[in-house]
Amino acid sequence: MRALALSTLTLALICSGSSACSGSSSSPTIAQNVKLVFRGSTSRRADLPASADACIAGVGLTHTHPSWRAFASIPLTRVPPDRYEIIFDDVPIDAPVSFRVNDQNSCDQNPTGAVTRNVFVNDVELRQNTTTPGNGEEPGFAFTLTAAGRITQ
């Protein structure tokens, strides 16, 4: 009887820290090959005003801040003459996510260089529809990727 109680207690302790015993997983399903594209010049605009200098210095390389990576700054790859892109392999499926793109050429339109248009995910153009944390609330994009691969806003 004592061995049975000890076995039951051991199994309970093992299962308490594992999803294997419950048959469910708390980890979200993630998508592979999710392409984010910003269509914008890869050369700095010559007509940016001097008042944009601090923003330009702050933005640095064109980059994104995705929510599923705790809004960390991730540089986008330049594809001259008019595109930046990155492919993510860790976007949660069927869960709302958000991100923003910062680009020096947008410094005359937004004091942080946050982009508000010409952003695509898997060839679907997104509209600016949320804010993201940064230097205050900055314009961003929210979307959901369904298990079928459909992008919704």
Predicted local confidence at residue 88, as pLDDT:
98
Q: What is the mean pLDDT of the chain?
A: 87
Residue type, 27: S
The average pLDDT across 4-13 equals: 38
pLDDT tens digits along 81-111: 999 999 999 999 999 999 999 999 999 999 9
Predicted local confidence at residue 28, as pLDDT:
77
Residue carrying the six token digits 């594992």: 18
Locate the DSSP E strands across the chain: 30-31, 34-38, 63-66, 74-75, 77-79, 83-88, 91-92, 97-102, 119-121, 124-126, 130-134, 136-145, 151-152
| Higher local confidence (pLDDT), 14 or 130 | 130
The average pLDDT across 130-149 equals: 96
